[in-house]
Amino acid sequence: MTAKEIVAELQTLGNESYKQILLKHGAQEPIFGVKVEDLKKIQKRIKKDYRLALELYDTGISDAMYLAGLIADDAKMTKENLERWVKKANSPLHSEYTVPWVAAGSPSGPELAQKWIDSKEENIAAAGWATLSSWVAITEDADLDQKQLKQLLERVQKSIHQAPNRVRMMMNGFVIAVGTYVEPLHDLAKKTAAQIDRVSVFVGDTACKVPFAPDYINKAKLQGKVGRKRKSAKC
């Protein structure tokens, strides 16, 4: 299928009420309001298609951009394309999910994440922290730089409450991710979570709540999930 054919199909699948929900969560026009379950049906059909993913993302249509992340061949994503994607991500839907999911599975993801978290642009910095969260969730502990992660936890502890709005949300998520997926750093992440306490984030006119990191990390421990890696960051 071509990108044009897929966009035409997405338009027919659009749902106005779902579109309004997405807009309240920061999505930007143009958007059709296609439900994730319908996007995944298309993903199942296409599986992976690197070139098509690039073309769909470049349409600038929110639904197509999300689908692009689902069908992207992460291992083939170049540093240049990831940089282009993060700059074009105009809503949390893509800067905090689509781009980080793909970046985490790419060879240059960890390097770019370190660069992005220093950005003055809120969406790019948020993408960096989200990428790190996805990366630790899918990467074996032996392949992670434990020293670097400790430094990042310390950075979060010292700066989270002064960080931009969406960056605070993703920093909080990073502490939860380390505490859940990186067994050697579980206790340190738990301690960091207690130190930062509750994190205030403006989420607009939505029912969303900022996860309380200590509770989430404790829950992972009680359920025996600490250190259990995910096969993919995408969902």
Under the banding of pLDDT at 50, 70 and 90, the label for residue 205 is confident
Under the banding of pLDDT at 50, 70 and 90, the label for residue 234 is very high
Q: Is residue 89 part of a domain?
A: no
Same domain, 42 and 102: no
CA nearest to 233, candidates 98, 110, 85: 98
Same domain, 104 and 197: yes
* Alpha-carbon distance values, 80 to 66, 74, 172, 217 (Å): 19, 13, 28, 35
Same domain, 137 and 221: yes
Q: Is residue 82 part of a domain?
A: no
Same domain, 172 and 220: yes
Residue 13 to residue 43: CA distance in whole angstroms: 14
- Give Cβ neighbours of residue 188 (< 8 Å, ≥ 6 apart): 150, 153, 178
Same domain, 40 and 137: no
Across the chain, mean pLDDT equals 97
Residue 212 to residue 75: CA distance in whole angstroms: 33
Q: Is residue 3 part of a domain?
A: yes
Same domain, 149 and 64: no
Region 92-110: what's the mean pLDDT? 97
pLDDT for the residue numbered 181: 98
Evaluate if residue 38 carries a pLDDT over 90. Answer: yes
Same domain, 113 and 160: yes
pLDDT for the residue numbered 155: 98
CA nearest to 200, candidates 190, 212, 189: 212
CA nearest to 211, candidates 161, 160, 172, 165: 172
Residue 177 to residue 220: CA distance in whole angstroms: 10
Same domain, 34 and 104: no
Residue 185 to residue 179: CA distance in whole angstroms: 6
Last residue of a domain, one of 19, 42, 72: 72
Evaluate if residue 54 carries a pLDDT over 90. Answer: yes
Q: Is residue 26 part of a domain?
A: yes
Q: Is residue 100 part of a domain?
A: yes
Same domain, 122 and 197: yes
Q: Is residue 78 part of a domain?
A: no
Q: Is residue 88 part of a domain?
A: no
Residue 160 to residue 123: CA distance in whole angstroms: 15
Report how many domains make up the chain. 2
Which amino acid does the sequence have at 18? Y
Containing domain of residue 53, as a range? 1-72
Evaluate if residue 139 carries a pLDDT over 90. Answer: yes
Region 71-100: what's the mean pLDDT? 97
Under the banding of pLDDT at 50, 70 and 90, the label for residue 64 is very high
Q: Is residue 86 part of a domain?
A: no
Same domain, 215 and 108: yes
Residue 38 to residue 44: CA distance in whole angstroms: 10
Q: What is the pTM of this model?
A: 0.97
Same domain, 8 and 108: no
Residue 182 to residue 221: CA distance in whole angstroms: 12
Same domain, 122 and 59: no
